[in-house]
A = this chain, B = another copy of it.
């Protein structure tokens, strides 16, 4: 499995990359203690609020890896970045990225990595030794964030829940399943890149046997109601064999993101479908809470939406951004303790 060496320097490119720093912002938000600074190529580049650091300053501050904190722009490695990426390797840093374009497909970077002995780490490449899922029960406790759709807060919910559990002194590990989560946490498996025969096996590998009172907090992917990505969600659900589920939803969203011809399920329908399928590998699975993305609402509207979601689901409902992670963590412990 992937293993990044901290601390990190966050590379943000130049003005061409403005608006695409979601990954860098996630790392700076969730792992500030692992970040020594950010490196921007020009004044037009985005900042994620870290101190500016040159390669030399970063190395002196303990950086071991430069993470390309950008996604999108077609998932491309921009050619004008190359001298800086090569210089980072020469300065003694590993390079890590979650782009579609692989670092290891760039001859100049490969040559520099060989010359310097540094690593090129493409986090969207799954491990080679994944096996077919066995469905065998594993020790330890697991909670999985599932959703009515993609892109409505499953990663944020899992990271917040992990933080909430750690804050309470509970043994917990965040298990990343997508590129940004992997770069935030430093390890994980990119579920979207696994061959489908090994989907549940990858999820089994991601959360191995653990101590009975240890919680794996697993980042969800997709939705069982998504016509493109439901297979990812099901493989992850079966392989994770969660004890506890958290239902993620965005207040007011009515159709699948990018699929206006597909209506979102109701919370009840989404819960029932997840339970029906999850029971295959864990008959005792249950829901603990709703995590509601209310970012587009004012405070009064958000409280109303949270109450409505709680009433519909018959569960406590939180927006971890508004409410902090403690309530969510308590609900998970109450459901699975």
Contact = CB atoms under 8 A, between A and B. Distances in A.
Interface of A: 132-136, 191-197, 199-201, 224-225, 227-232, 234-235, 238, 259, 261-262, 273, 276-277, 280-281
Q: State the number of copies, please.
A: 2
10 contacts: A135-B261, A192-B195, A193-B195, A196-B199, A196-B231, A197-B232, A200-B229, A200-B231, A227-B280, A231-B234
Given A195-B192, A195-B194, A234-B234, A134 B228 contact: yes
B229 A132 contact: yes
A94 B209 CA distance: 48
Contact of A200 (B135, B193, B201, B230): B230
Interface centre among A228, A229, A276 (most CB of B within 10 A): A228
A191 B196 contact: yes
Contacts of A199: 196, 231-232
B196 A227 contact: no
A258 B262 CA distance: 37
Contacts of A262: 135, 280
Given A132-B229, A192-B196, A199-B231, 8 more contacts: A133-B227, A133-B229, A191-B196, A193-B197, A200-B231, A227-B238, A227-B280, A273-B276
Contacts of A227: 133-135, 200, 238, 280-281
B228 A133 contact: yes
Give me the 9 closest cross-chain CB pairs, A-B, nearest first. A135-B227, A231-B235, A133-B228, A199-B231, A132-B228, A192-B197, A196-B196, A231-B231, A196-B199
A195 B195 contact: yes
